[in-house]
Amino acid sequence: MGGTNDILGIVLAAGEGTRMKSARPKVLHEVAGRSLVGHAMASAQVAGVARLGVVIGPDRPDVAKEVEKRAPEAKVFEQRERRGTAHAVLQATPLLEAGCAALVVLFGDTPLVRPESIRALAEAVQTGNTAVAVMGFEARDPTGYGRLITQGDTLLAIREHKDASETERAIRLCNSGLMAIRGTLALDLLREVKANNAQNEFYLTDVVALARAAGHGATYVLAPEEDALGVNDRVQLSVCEGVLQRRLREQHMRAGVTLIAPETVFFSLDTELGRDVLVEPNVVFGPGVKVESGAIIHAFSHLEGAVVRAGATVGPFARLRPGADLGEGAKVGNFVEIKKATLGREAKVSHLTYIGDAEVGEDANIGAGTITCNYDGFSKYITRIGAGAFIGSNTALVAPVTIGAGATVGAGSVITHDVEPDALALTRAPTKALPGWAKAFRERPENVAKAKKKS
């Protein structure tokens, strides 16, 4: 229920993003494992925004689904005609009519804005005579940006680059687009915006002049240029990814994680790493990864949706897929893939192995080349390997199957039935040797002739 003591956030996410040259809407492209619009909503929520509206383009169930996934309580509105930013905000009129202390307008393609910048905007319009606050930044190259014309802390006007004089174009204080409006004035000011421009659109920036004309104050909040980075094409998407990865690397290292070559490690926003975790070069953390203290992630490993418990080791060249759960001190070695499987304490899967849909007991040892045959083309089945079991190299475990605790499976076996605890299971054919066969084969006339042609 809306009141006068809360902050309302409206995220504009209706742009087509044609410069992305993509079948996907621009706001669904990702940085650090989260959609652009997801980043904007998350920052708003952390900033203390009590109610959230998202304005999307027409016939975009995919964007609506992402909003519901990231912020189930958010209200979704469609902008069926693209008539400018002020017009987009007014699509959320039901939220504005409910009242708020401050309205903050954000953009679904500006993923790096930090919660503290959003809070500063909202606070600026809740004190004194200030009705409008704009987030500004000092641009290294201001070309193309709207300039903030100021006098002290007072915002006099926003001048678009094409309309600015030479003196104004020398100003480096630029408009990010993000804006806060005092809640009691927001709806009236937005409704006063006119489409008096060549594009026949309603621009949110006109609110500054309208507020000042009505005798209200306007100001700006200074934020780092990074906060204002928007995404219009794939190049800008990569720039945002780079900025966010740098922030995440610094965050983890300051929290007690060692990154040997930080610039080669890539994180998702939700990656959790405990103290004294060591990460070697060229590691990728997909969404949903938690690594506990003292674990080691060796080079060239890829983790997603996985838990690595204290003291475990992964890699090099290992892949942990969703549902992988490695117990304390467990080892997953080179060229091993784990999917939807738990490894008990000190279990070892050292190399060249696939373990999927499985439960592996503590101290079990899985030999090289072992696979769990978990899929028959229609359904998935579970393999259970008991504590202390030893699985020889090049073994196929055809699920559903259980290997008892302490059992041994001989190398090269195909196991299709349960194995009792402490038993030995073998499906190996006896070795048969034919003396002199190889020599006789080589000396066949046709083979001798072929050998001469090769030489």
Burial class (CB in 10 A: 0-12, 13-18, 19+), 376: exposed
Residues facing 358 on adjacent strands: 341, 383
In the numeric block, which tokens belong to residue 351? 């190399």
Instruction: Choose the catalytic residue: 87, 161, 351, 417.
Output: 351
**Closest alpha carbon to 402 in 378, 423, 429:** 423
**Neighbouring C-alpha atoms within 13 Å toward the C-beta of 349:** 37
82-85 contact pairs (CB < 8 A, 24+):
82/14, 82/15, 82/16, 82/57, 82/201, 83/195, 83/200, 83/201, 83/202, 84/195, 84/199, 84/201, 84/202, 84/203, 84/204, 85/12, 85/177, 85/201, 85/202, 85/203, 85/204, 85/205
CB burial readout 307-326, b (16+ within 10 A) else e = bbbbbbbbbbbbbbbebbbb
**Closest alpha carbon to 403 in 418, 393, 422:** 418
Length of the chain in terms of residues written: 455
CB burial readout 271-302, b (16+ within 10 A) else e = bebbeebbbbebbbbbbbbbbbebbbbbbbbb
Dist. CA 36–CA 106, nearest whole Å: 12
**Closest alpha carbon to 348 in 329, 370, 372, 365:** 365
Q: Are 193 and 207 in contact (CB under 8 A)?
A: yes
Dist. CA 296–CA 335, nearest whole Å: 16
Question: Is 161 considered catalytic here?
Answer: no
How far CA 64 is from CA of 37, 248, 257, in Å, comes to 11, 28, 37
User: What backbone torsions phi and psi does residue 430 show, to the nearest 5 degrees?
Assistant: -60, 145
Catalytic center residues: 351
